[in-house]
Amino acid sequence: MCRHLAYLGPPVSPADVVLRAPHSLLVQSYAPLDMRGGGTVNVDGFGVGWFAGDGYPTRYRRADPIWTDGALPRLLEPVRTGSFLAAVRSGTPGMPVTETACAPFADDDWLFSHNGVVLGWPESMARLAAEIPVVDLLHLDAPTDSALLWRALRFDLRRGRDPVAAVADLSFRVETGAPGSRLNLLLAGRDLLVATAWSHSLSVRTAGGGVLVASEPCDGDPAWQAVADGDLVVARRARGADENVEPTVEISTVEKERSQA
């Protein structure tokens, strides 16, 4: 069911938690500790995305197990960024194993990941898909539930919807059409990070002036805090602020953020 993480704070190397930490995303690909609802390993691809100096995201995705990519360490080591998102994929049976099906999904402003599964796919999402412009659907990254969720969220964001409310509302819209779905959503921007815990594990750590959310803690730091099911984590810093400015962190509920939209 995938593992993902995202960071917002002073510039660091994504390699620290993606590759080097004791329970890095690399380790979580073959030895996850808290998989729920199916799946035992996360070997159907991976991706890393980060916001570069020009303010736009750079993305690297492959359809292979993360440990097979000898170029990844060399790629990530020199990177220093104040916002990044990474994921390893456990594909749902019947969905393709392709690079384009791997998170992060992206546009000029956002990186997105979905850890979970939409039950009854694709029939259960017919109503949601009908709300998305046809041109957007024609640009769907892959015929998967996660890719459709990204297109639905991206449509709301481009209409000027508040990102926190948009993520919360998407969870409820999907749950309405596909009850029992697993919907840990993760959205990262230059100055904002939004993460939901919806049937899958999620933890958050605030340390060193930065905020890290992850499906599983990446190390034994006691600062890690488990996020309760149905909760939503928001980390943000003032738009355009220096990357060294420490972001604020709030933990609310998905329902509350949706109702305040």
Q: Other C-beta atoms within 10 Å of 140: how many?
A: 16
Indicate if 102 belongs to the active site: no
Q: Give the DSSP H/E element, type plus range, for residue 233.
A: strand 231-236
Q: Other C-beta atoms within 10 Å of 257: how many?
A: 23
Query: How far is residue 121's CA from residue 123's CA, in Å, rounded to a whole number?
Result: 5
104 upstream amide cis, omega within 30 of 0: yes
Query: How far is residue 138's CA from residue 136's CA, in Å, rounded to a whole number?
Result: 5
Pairing relationship of beta strands 3-12 and 225-226 according to DSSP bridges: unpaired
Percent composition of the chain: helix, strand, coil (DSSP 3-state, to 5) = 30, 30, 45
Catalytic residue among 1, 2, 25, 72: 2
**Catalytic residue ranges:** 2
